Amino acid sequence: MMKELVFATNNAHKIEEVADAAGNQFKILRLKDIHCNDEIEETGTTFRENASIKTHYIFNKYGLDCFGDDSGLEIEALYGEPGVFSARYAGEHGNHAANIARVLDQMEGVTNRKAQFKTVISLLWKGQEYWFEGIVHGTIHTEVSGNLGFGYDPIFQPEGYPVTFAEMSLQEKNNISHRGKAMAKLIDFLKKL
């Protein structure tokens, strides 16, 4: 029987990526699936803190084993920005077009286009917290390219690939992405429990 595991998010794109990465090992449940419609405030100053806030909230309220992530884009020339503010970089939470526009505006004329996507996953399993991290290095495009994926995918070109994340299939992206790498570590860990 497939084990169920709560992912502390209602972000449909993240759920799709994680369910694909989990394969048939685990059934990934969204917050909606456990009847949680609460907006969990990300008040941390690091990816690790924000991931932990989500898992502790669910574990403390529902008593369920769960995992949560926080991810973001870190651009070298912008001193690591947008970082933990990636989802709300232009002000409004989740406005991908505005966030991309702000990054492109700030990067105009900048020659150092190095960046990385980072994911930190917090897993609360039987009251114990575990951590998993994934990083993918790349560069920032000067314009939007591709219409797959979400967030900053249309302007992020992973190292060693001629296309952006938004030009890759979900499987291609998951094989090399920050979230895919972190999820692979999480799944490997869970298989050994």
Known binding residue 9? Answer is: yes
Known binding residue 119? Answer is: no
Known binding residue 69? Answer is: no
Known binding residue 52? Answer is: no
Largest CA distance in the chain: 55
Known binding residue 150? Answer is: yes
- 26's CB contacts (< 8 A; 6+ apart) are 2, 3, 4, 5, 187, 190
Known binding residue 21? Answer is: no
- Cα of 133 vs its chain's centroid, Å: 10
**Which residues are known to be catalytic?**
70
Residues that constitute the known binding site for substrate: 9-14, 71, 150-153, 173, 178-179
**Bind-site residues for Mg(2+):** 41, 70
